[in-house]
Chain A
Amino acid sequence: MSQSKGRFGIHGGQYIPETLMNAVIELENAYNHYKDDPEFNSELTQLLNEYAGRPSNLYFAEKLTRELGGAKIYLKREDLNHTGSHKINNVLGQALLAKKMGKTRLIAETGAGQHGVATATAAALLGMECVVFMGEEDTKRQALNVYRMKLLGSDVIPVKSGTATLKDAVSEAMREWTSRINDTHYCLGSVMGPHPFPTIVRDFQAVISRESRTQILEKEGRLPDAVIACVGGGSNAIGSFYHYIPDKDVRLIGCEAAGRGIDTFETAATVNTGKIGIFHGMKSYFCQDEYGQIAPVYSISAGLDYPGVGPEHANLHDIGRAEYVPVTDDEAVNAFEYLSRVEGIIPAIESAHAVAYAMKLAPAMDKDKIIIITVSGRGDKDCAAIARYRGEYIYE
């Protein structure tokens, strides 16, 4: 009897069709081979530094700190990466790995379009074919990113099934992968799906906390008191948390999209409102009804509009190592505007969820405390949608 792999406590595993099993085994073997390969790592570091612009700044937000009047706030500026978000960290790693495996075609799902744009970018750079699946609803919310992907040479397939959002894009990308495996790598964008994806994506995103840990020690001579990041599937959050997990005094706070509130059905706050289930290849928390039917979740943020959460987060919640807090649309939009005004930094609406929680937390903390907020992406893509949220209709 073969044992289940890729567990985080009771979560994780590989709940996928038999058709895909050898593909994920092949991926796991390749990853285990290359992750410690000096040549692979030097190529990846070269790409991250020279092409994506790493390391990203850990910026002391002095004005924000003063305005909020509490803890010192640092921003980990993933929004300054090439393509405008943390997604490029994982994509460059996976695309390079796929290329070493002899794959010539990348497929990906995308919600806000940030992962799709990052994948399209890596495909262009490495000379690979690329197809991105995006919920039809999201192609409307994020029309600019659709154009960017096409400009980069990718096909964008609008997904009409289900709620026509991120979960349906994941389902469709999985369906596509089962029909074409030999030349195709599924470049999954978050720390979710079947093993080994949650581990691979986490390892590639862990660069965020590897850097921020060194940076904060340089600047402050000590570790932060809290690290705050937004959580959809949870890739920027796990990347932001990972190297602090053994440091029990560092609070790790994931901000979930509460949409119109966790007491409404229009929410995507999985840890706060979901229960344990099995979906999209993993056991974890999911928003679902009493019969296990996956709920049609909602958030203003296309990137957090997902009914599940990565299995490692589910376990960090179970063991009490990380906290997961709900942040509503309203709070996120306020934070989006606030950070823009106060610091001159327009965050992605996803990242604004983390900023929103920090706005509540920082004033309640002493001035000698330190918070790091991961600004996972930049907000240019969201401007038209936020304008609409405020009743202003602008052309993109």
Chain B
Amino acid sequence: MSNIRKAFENGKAFIPFITCGDPDIETTAEIVRAAVQNGADLIELGIPFSDPTAEGPVIQGANIRALSAGITTDKVFELVSEIRKDVKIPLVFMTYANVVFSYGAERFMSKCKETGIDGIILPDLPFEEKEEFTEPAGKYGIDMISLIAPTSADRVSMIAKEAQGFIYIVSSLGVTGMRSEINTNICDIVRVIRENTDIPCAVGFGISKPEQAKAMADISDGAIVGSAIIKIMEKYGKDSPRYVGEYVRMMKEAVSEI
């Protein structure tokens, strides 16, 4: 069974996204630990990419800061090895297809297994192209996480049937970033997913406030937050672990409320 399922055994899951290397790798490790201590159930670690086409301005900024500070894929693997000494919750990478492809998919997956990564999210890898990555991933027991969007329509069941780890439901059209309202009918998407698979699904894109996270977690298995956390990191820099920790605690409490 996928290790990722453990993230959904502690009530509704709260999943923070953290860009690795912003402002530096040491701070990233502290932020991850602060998130874990405050109730994060699974963490998405972003490997920065020069041209993140699925990201809004906030996460684009984090990518640029981290790359300027010298982050590389190898340094991210070192970071994962280091935090795996004490961090036990599932960890997944969120990056772009070229980061994995240029490293060599097989070599990348083997490093994931070696360092303790459980899954990979590639927002520019749709269902039709996934085989090239799911094959090497499968060899090393790494889950390739599928995304389902508000525009997926007739594609939801096809994607759900072959999904691994958990399903990332994209809440809204457009790129990542905070939104005041989420209008998509997530319930319909979740219903179709449930008809096709029993793997968990969590909602991301646009969530920043506790009430939004609770609303999304109520109709799925969890909530994913990226830009709001990156905002905190942008504001507090090296001092951000404490503030990210406080935010994660507040969000985990919100999704756990009945």
> Which residues from chain A sit less than 8 Å from chain B, CB to CB?
1-5, 13-23, 161-162, 167-168, 171, 174-175, 178-181, 275-281, 283, 286, 288, 290-294
Contacts and interface: CB of A to CB of B under 8 A. Distances in A.
A23 B151 contact: yes
Interface stretch (B10-18, B169-177, B191-199, B213-221): B169-177
Nearest 6 Cβ contacts at the A-B interface: A292-B102, A179-B174, A19-B149, A292-B98, A293-B50, A278-B97
B126 A292 contact: no
27 contacts: A1-B131, A2-B128, A13-B128, A14-B129, A17-B124, A17-B149, A17-B170, A18-B155, A18-B170, A19-B149, A19-B170, A19-B173, A21-B128, A21-B149, A22-B155, A161-B60, A162-B51, A171-B51, A178-B54, A179-B174, A179-B175, A278-B96, A283-B101, A286-B98, A291-B102, A292-B98, A293-B67
Contacts of A276: 101
Contact of A175 (B53, B99, B103, B155): B53
A15 B175 contact: no
B178 to A, nearest CB: 14
A168 B123 CA distance: 18
Interface residues of B, number: 45
Contact of B102 (A13, A161, A288): A288
Contacts of B67: 293
A17 B146 CA distance: 11
A17 B147 contact: yes
Nearest to A23: B151
A276 B46 CA distance: 23
Given A13-B129, A18-B170, A174 B53 contact: yes
Nearest to B159: A18
Contacts of B147: 17-18
B211 interface: no
A254 B4 CA distance: 49
A231 to B, nearest CB: 20
Interface string B36-68: 000000000000011101101100100000010
Interface string B135-165: 0000000000011111111110011001000
B123 to A, nearest CB: 5
A178 B102 contact: no
B72 interface: yes
B236 interface: no
B75 to A, nearest CB: 10
A181 B126 contact: no
Contacts of A162: 50-51
Nearest to B75: A291
Contact of A15 (B60, B125, B146, B174): B125
Given A162-B50, A277-B98, A292-B102, 20 more contacts: A4-B131, A13-B128, A15-B126, A16-B124, A18-B151, A19-B174, A21-B128, A22-B155, A161-B60, A162-B51, A167-B51, A175-B56, A178-B173, A179-B175, A278-B96, A278-B97, A279-B51, A291-B72, A291-B73, A294-B98
B99 A291 contact: yes
Nearest to A276: B101
Given A292-B98, A292-B102, A21 B175 contact: no
